[in-house]
A and B are shown apart, each in its own frame.
Chain A
Amino acid sequence: MPQTGSIIKFFLVAVFSLLMSSCFKDVDFGQAQEISLEPDLQVDLLYFQLDETDFLDSESSQYTPIIRDTVRLEFLDDDYIQDGLMYAALRFRHENRFPYDINSRIRFLGENGGRQFQVNYLIPQGSSAASSVIDTTRILEGNEINKLRRSIKMVVELEVVDGAGDLQGELDFQSKGLFKFEF
C-alpha cells in the first residue's frame, strides 16, 4: 500500500497548504475606524402665510404692528445633532405683498431663553401685483455650530414699519435647513 500512503500524504499536504494559504492580503482593516457616515439632509423648518387679519386683534380688531410666535424644535436636542452636526445652512425666504416694509427677527433660543443667534433683516414693501422677495441663508459651521446645538426654540417676530389698521396684503414665509453630519 505504499501508493495509498503517498496519496494520503499528498492529500494532507494539500489540506495544510489550502488552510495556510488562505489569508487576507493587501487590505488594512484598521481603516474601519475611519469609515464615517456623512449624510446631508434637507429638512423643512417653519412656514406660514399671513394676511392683514393676523395683525388685528380677533376681539377688538385693534391693529397690532408686532406679532411673534415661538416654536420648539425638539430635534435640535437629539443625539445625532449634538454629536454629529458639523454644518448647517438655514435658509429663510419671505415674500411680501403688504405695501409696508416689515422687520423680520428670527431668534434661536436655548432652553432657558438665552439667545444663541439671530437673523434679522428688513423685508421691503411689495404689492399684490409685485411681491417683494427676500431670500437669506445663514451658515453655521466650525465653532458656530454649537450655537445651533444649544438652541431649542425658534422665535419668529414680525414688525410692520409705519403700518396702519387698514393694511391689506399677504406675507409668506418658507424656511429650511441643510444639515451636514459626520458620524
Chain B
Amino acid sequence: MRKIFLLVLLISFFKGLSQNRPLLYNVDDLPQALLQNPGARIDFTRHIGVPFFSQIHLFAGSSGVTAYDVFADNDGDVNDRVRNIMRDITSGDFFSVNEQLEVLSLGWKMSDRLYFSTGIYQELDIFAYFPKDPAVLAFEGNASYIGQDFRFSDVNFAGEVLTVYHAGLNYKVDNQLTVGGRFKLYSGIFNAESTSNEGVFRTVETPGGPNFYRHEVSGLNVRVNTSGYASLKEEEGMTVDKAVAELLSRSFFGQNVGLGVDLGFNYRVTEQFSVNAAIQDLGLMFHQKDVENYNYFGSFQTDGLEPLFPELDENEATIPYWDVFEEKLDQNLQDETTNNTYTTWRPLKFNASFQFGTGKSILPCDYLISKKPRFMNLFGMIFSGVNRPKGPTYGVTAYYDRKVTDNFRFRVAYGADEYTLTKFGLMMSTRLKNFNFYLAANDIIGYTNLAKANTASLQLGLQFIFKDL
C-alpha cells in the first residue's frame, strides 16, 4: 500500500498544465497551432518537422497537493503532514500526466486557400482522481469513521498510450473566415480505465443487535478495463524493461484502433479583432484485442462469527466457522475476469479565444507579394478545457504576443485553472533561415522550485518552416 501511495505521489510531482497548450494556441507561424485549431490562421507555406523532435510536450499536474506539502524539510512529522493532506484533499482533486512526442510532421500549401498538414504523434495520458475514501480507510482505518460510508466510486482513473496518425485541411474561406478539420486514426498501445464504480463499505453500530457492529459492503460494482495489458502480464519472465520494450514495439501499429476529428475556425471580426474556437479529439477508441476486464461485485454484511456450541465428542472436529464465513463471502462478493470489448471516448479538448492586434508589420515593397501585413503585438485571452470522467477541467489564459522580427517572437501569459491561480508562461520561437526552434514553459514561477508547484508544462520543438512570399 505504501508503494502505491508513493507511486501516486511520484506521479503528482511531475508537474505541468494540461493537454491544452495555451502558449502555442494561435501562434500563426508554428504548425503546432494547427494541431490545436485546424482552422487557425497561419503564416507559413510549408513545414516539415525534425522527426521525433518537432514537438516534445510534457505536462503533469496535481490539483490538491505538492511535493513540499508532504516532504517539507522542516521539524514537522511527515505522517502528520500526510494526515493533514488526506483531510484537506477531496475526491474531486486529481493528478494528471500528459506527454506527446511528434514523430513526423509535415504540410504544404495546396492552393491560395488550402493548406494540408499531416503527421504522426505518440501520446501518453494519465488522469486519476484522488481515491479519498479507500485512501482514508487504508491510512486511518474504520475506527474513527463508524457509521460513515467509504465509497468505491472514489476509485476513478484512466490512462492510455497510443499513436495518432492524422491529416488535416486548413481552408481560408475569405479574408475573414478560416475553417479547418483534421481526421485522426488512433492506434492503441495500452489502455486502463476504471471510471464508473459503485458501492460502499461501512461499519455501523448496532445497539440491540447481535454484536457491537455490522460490517457491510453494499452494492459493490467495480470494473477495471484494460487493453494491451493481458499479453504483458501473461508473458513469462516479464520485467518492467521488457514491458516497456514490448510497448515501444507496438508504437506504430497497436492492436486497437479508434477514430476522431478536430474541428476549428478563426473569424476576423475586424482587421484587428478576431475570435476562434476549436475542439480536439472528438473520437472513440475501440478496444477489441488483448482485452481483459476485472470485475468485483456483490453485497455482503456480517456481525462476526456465531459459535453454535454443538454437542461434540472429544475426537470430533468443531464446526469450520471460518471456512463457512469465507464461503459466504466468496458467494456474495465475487470477482470475475472477462474479455469483453469496450469503447472509450478520447478526452475531448476545447479552446476558444479572442485576440486583438496592434502595430502592423512592414512588408517589402514588391507588387508580386500577395501577403497582407500582420500585427506585431497581439493581446488575447483563451478559454480551454478537457473533458474528464467527472466533468471538464477548465482554464483561462491571457497573453501578450510580440513579433520582435519576422524570425523571432515571444509570448508571455498569465493563466488560472483548477491547478493554480498564478500561472505565468513564456513562449519563444525563433527562425534561422528556415530552421525553427521553439520553447514554451508554463508556470514559470513553479520552475524555480518544482516542489512547491502544482503544475508545470514544457513544449519544445525543431522544424523547418518556409514562408514563401
Contacts and interface: CB of A to CB of B under 8 A. Distances in A.
Interface string B417-434: 000000000101010100
B53 interface: no
A29 B213 contact: no
A10 to B, nearest CB: 9
A25 B318 contact: no
A73 to B, nearest CB: 7
Interface string B398-442: 000000110110000000000000000010101010000101010
Nearest to B447: A22
Given A47-B210, A175-B304, A176-B304, A40 B6 contact: no
Nearest to A34: B78
B203 interface: yes
A15 interface: yes
A49 to B, nearest CB: 7
B294 interface: no
A98 to B, nearest CB: 15
Contact of B451 (A8, A11, A24, A91): A24
Contacts, number: 176
A3 B71 CA distance: 46
Contacts of B141: 39-42, 181
A22 B450 contact: yes
Contacts of B303: 44, 47
Contact of A7 (B67, B70, B142, B408): B408
Contacts of A37: 1-2, 5, 138-139
A83 interface: no
Contacts of B447: 18, 21-22
A18 B448 CA distance: 8
Interface in A1-58: 3-4, 7-8, 11, 14-15, 18, 21-29, 31-32, 34-50, 54, 57-58
A67 interface: yes
B253 interface: no
Interface residues of B, number: 66
Contacts of A48: 306-309
Contact of A40 (B140, B305, B311, B326): B140
Contacts of B6: 32, 35
Given A26-B73, A47-B210, A176-B304, A4 B309 contact: no
B272 interface: no
A115 to B, nearest CB: 17
A116 interface: no
A178 interface: yes
A71 B309 CA distance: 10
A32 B407 CA distance: 48
A74 B322 CA distance: 7
B215 interface: yes
Interface of A: 3-4, 7-8, 11, 14-15, 18, 21-29, 31-32, 34-50, 54, 57-58, 67-74, 91, 93, 156, 174-176, 178, 181, 183
Given A14-B428, A71-B318, A176-B212, 17 more contacts: A4-B430, A15-B460, A22-B447, A26-B72, A27-B71, A29-B67, A40-B142, A41-B143, A42-B203, A44-B211, A45-B305, A47-B306, A54-B309, A57-B311, A71-B307, A72-B320, A174-B212
